[in-house]
Amino acid sequence: MRETTGTTAAQLAGAPLSRLAGTLLMGALLVTTTPNARAASDATETVSSPDGRIEAVLAITAGRPTYSISRDSRPVIQPSTLGFRFKDDPPLTGGFIIDGVERAAIDETWEPVWGSASDVRNHCNELAVRLKEESGRGRIMTVVLRVFDDGVGFRYVLPEQPGLGTFDIISEETTFRLAGDHTVWWNRNDYDSYEHLFHETTLSTVEGANTPVTMVTAEGLYLSIHEANLTDYAGMTLVPEEGVPNSLAAELVPWPDGVTRVLGRTPLVTPWRTVQIGERPGDLVESHLIQNLNEPCVIEDTSWIRPMKYLGIWWSLHIGKESWHEGPTHGATTANAKRYVDFAAEHGIGGVLIEGWNTGWDRWGARGAFDYVTPYDDFDLEDVVRYGREKGVAIIGHHETGGDAADYETRVDAAFDLYNRVGVSAVKTGYAGGIYPRGQHHHGQWMIFHYRRILEKAADARIMLDVHEPIKPTGISRTYPNMMTREGVRGMEYNAWSEGNPPEHTTILPFTRMLAGPLDYTPGIFDLTFDEYKLDNRVHTTIAKQLALYVVLLSPLQMAADLPENYEGHPALGFIERVPCTWDETRVLDAAIGDYVVIARRNGDEWFLGSITDEEERALQVSLDFLAAGRRYQARIYRDGAGAHWETNPISVDVSTVVVGAEDTMTLELAPGGGAAVYFAPVNREEN
């Protein structure tokens, strides 16, 4: 990764922070103190976005600090509380004076290894306000705000100081007092899983949510609250603030005692609390605010980090055609793996995931069930990896822990060594089940530290990661771009064995979960009803919508989830063969959250368009003015065929080709639960 044109006035320094973090690299903001501390009277400090439209204010009123955010002089976040409560120390919430103020401007452009754009501009103004308790221990808490044209991030810094050493945070007092009873899309505040459907309700009826939480105001302003750079801290959920209408309060995921949220020591830097702001739903998707609030890449040579599409011995396991464990229907046999490799090689798919290759599946739920190095008797890891290499297909390894993270930590070095030895450079990990140590939550500080340790070890071993049952993304892949993708979403698997995901689900994801980062949703099912294996379950889309998901949903490891036999000879496969999974440019052309989405993404001089709808059929007019002016493109259109309907006729798909240019408009006719996928290639190129 190359960092360009850095003009950061703020100094960033590595600092191992809490009592847990021996090895984590974190950026700590060093704030210098202006000599004359202000008197205890009320005071405000203001910082604006580079375009001047967004303003954040840090105020002290009777010693209590608040922050507020406005856009075009209209309130977005009303004055909202800040601070901490500790188990054994007095709260850090009031009695403050402003002890120093530092300002900085950041304008840099950086190049991600993969993602939705080839260049990312990090452009903001920063205000750091050092607050000091006027009496008592005189403890210091600095609040740092960064204001971008597309939103605000703020975080706390507790510097090393005589009055504060080690502590247990029992509550972070951050609130988000919104300016109205907005419409909100939210996923419930489960401490262990994000695998739920989204609710759309008014703000006043949100019961408790995981972030990102996305909303629209009565004036049509789109907002999303999340966090960035979640490192050695507990995940933040949001709950209604007691006694304050239209307000959400931070509630951190606890340790097993249910009381302690963060074991900390100074110097401590919290994750950024983020509020993204846009006029269109698409503004939120096109924003890079979350990534920009993370540290630059720490991996010097990133040449081994390679986005790819992948097949997997996977869907067959979920629909019950094959098994993870050894037996007559074992999926991960050498022969079957080679069959997948052959199919991937023939169709330009870069990788094959193999689940159920290692012993332990028959001991599911037991402690230490997996050793991550012993293959089943009918699977020859070395032979399969060598076979893949010969055919240019990478094998993606699999480490399912069943939640036993503690045991995995003792075995992961040997497991990565094995993969290094045989040549496996990407691994899917999984934490399906309650966490060991018991009582720890997937989204608590202990697990966040665990996920990070595994990520660092993977970076050292040159292994790319796809984490299932993960902590939500918070932009860490800027720093560790081997953190490719993760689940943290109610993905395709639910269609195999539950009532499934309704058609609207994927029209909400780009504006909620995907704002945080890539998601391993695993699209691409063509046999949508798989009646041969299960009668009651199905995928709630048409085939054309499955194709469109490759453009709508971002994942640098993007699965073609169906079985080779269901792809073989299918006219729709051409789109999966062509579609990339990393992009130079992304534009959301049209969207209504929960109803429909149209996204266009560019890779080189080719454009891909994906459009999906909920259960309603629609005809959408799309201007093709994103294409290069003056050029003609061959547009290969994959759309819902005659009579297509997710429920009654999901497999009807129509493929056609037209020649178009930037001045043209395309009408996308989407069936109920349907979609359209279009591949635009300049006509003067040979491969057309």
Residues that bind Ca ion (CB under 5 A): 468
The token pair that represents 193 in the structure block: 């899983």
Ranges of H-type helices in 461-542: 493-497, 505-508, 513-516
Contacts of 459 (CB under 8 A, 6+ apart): 298, 299, 480, 482
Q: Rule CB under 6 A: is residue 355 a binding residue for ligand NOJ? A: yes
How far apart (Å, rounded) are the C-alpha atoms in residues 72 and 94? Answer: 30
Asked if residue 546 lies in contact with residue 248, where contact means CB atoms within 8 angstroms, the answer is no
Under DSSP, the state recorded for 461 is T
In the bound state with ligand NOJ, the residue whose beta carbon lies nearer, of 273 and 468, is 468
Q: Rule CB under 6 A: is residue 322 a binding residue for ligand NOJ? A: no
Q: Whole-number minimum distance, CB 135 to ligand NOJ, in Å? A: 53
The token pair that represents 123 in the structure block: 């452009």
How far apart (Å, rounded) are the C-alpha atoms in residues 126 and 51? Answer: 14
Asked if residue 539 lies in contact with residue 547, where contact means CB atoms within 8 angstroms, the answer is no
Q: Is 448 exposed, middle or buried (0-12, 13-18, 19+ CB in 10 A)?
A: buried
Q: Which of residues 359-418 bind ligand NOJ (CB under 6 A)?
A: 400
In the bound state with ligand NOJ, the residue whose beta carbon lies nearer, of 110 and 361, is 361
Q: Buried b / exposed e across 304-336, counting CB within 10 Å, b at 16+? A: ebbbbbbbbbbbbbbbeebbbbbeeebbbbbeb
149 binds, among Ca ion, ligand NOJ, none (CB under 5 to 8 A by kind): none
In the bound state with Ca ion, the residue whose beta carbon lies nearer, of 491 and 650, is 491
Under DSSP, the state recorded for 676 is E
168 binds, among ligand NOJ, Ca ion, none (CB under 5 to 8 A by kind): none
84 binds, among Ca ion, ligand NOJ, none (CB under 5 to 8 A by kind): none
Taken in order 486, 489, 494, 495, the sign of the CA dihedral is negative
In the bound state with ligand NOJ, the residue whose beta carbon lies nearer, of 278 and 491, is 491
SS3 for 395-408 is: EEEEEECCCEHHHH
Q: Whole-number minimum distance, CB 488 to Ca ion, in Å? A: 9
In the bound state with ligand NOJ, the residue whose beta carbon lies nearer, of 321 and 570, is 321
How far apart (Å, rounded) are the C-alpha atoms in residues 451 and 231? Answer: 10
Q: Rule CB under 6 A: is residue 490 a binding residue for ligand NOJ? A: no
In the bound state with Ca ion, the residue whose beta carbon lies nearer, of 468 and 540, is 468
Q: Is 130 exposed, middle or buried (0-12, 13-18, 19+ CB in 10 A)?
A: buried
Side chain identity, residue 139: R
Query: Any idea which residues carry the catalytic annotation?
Result: 493
Q: Which of residues 207-246 bind ligand NOJ (CB under 6 A)?
A: none
- CA end-to-end distance (rounded Å), the chain: 33
Q: How large is the C-alpha radius of gyration of the chain?
A: 25
Query: Residue 383: what are its φ and ψ, rounded to 5°?
Result: -65, -45
Total interface residues for ligand NOJ by CB under 6 A: 8
Strands (E), 162-286: 166-172, 175-178, 183-188, 199-202, 209-216, 222-228, 236-240, 247-252, 262-265, 268-269, 272-278
Q: Whole-number minimum distance, CB 518 to ligand NOJ, in Å? A: 15
In the bound state with ligand NOJ, the residue whose beta carbon lies nearer, of 407 and 606, is 407
In the bound state with ligand NOJ, the residue whose beta carbon lies nearer, of 190 and 615, is 190
Side chain identity, residue 418: L
In the bound state with ligand NOJ, the residue whose beta carbon lies nearer, of 146 and 468, is 468
430 binds, among Ca ion, ligand NOJ, none (CB under 5 to 8 A by kind): ligand NOJ
- CA contacts within 13 A on the Cβ side of 309: 22
Q: Whole-number minimum distance, CB 428 to ligand NOJ, in Å? A: 7
Task: Tell me which H or E stretch contains 518.
Answer: none
Asked if residue 664 lies in contact with residue 658, where contact means CB atoms within 8 angstroms, the answer is no
How far apart (Å, rounded) are the C-alpha atoms in residues 398 and 514? Answer: 24
Q: Which of residues 416-435 bind ligand NOJ (CB under 6 A)?
A: 430, 432
Angle of the 405-422 helix axis to the 445-460 helix axis, nearest 10: 10
Query: Residue 494: what are its φ and ψ, rounded to 5°?
Result: -60, -30
Q: Rule CB under 6 A: is residue 487 a binding residue for ligand NOJ? A: yes
Taken in order 331, 332, 336, 342, the sign of the CA dihedral is positive
In the bound state with ligand NOJ, the residue whose beta carbon lies nearer, of 161 and 323, is 323
Query: Distances in Å between the alpha carbon of 289 and those of 80, 232, 517, 585?
Result: 21, 20, 11, 16
Residues that bind ligand NOJ (CB under 6 A): 314, 355, 400, 430, 432, 468, 487, 493
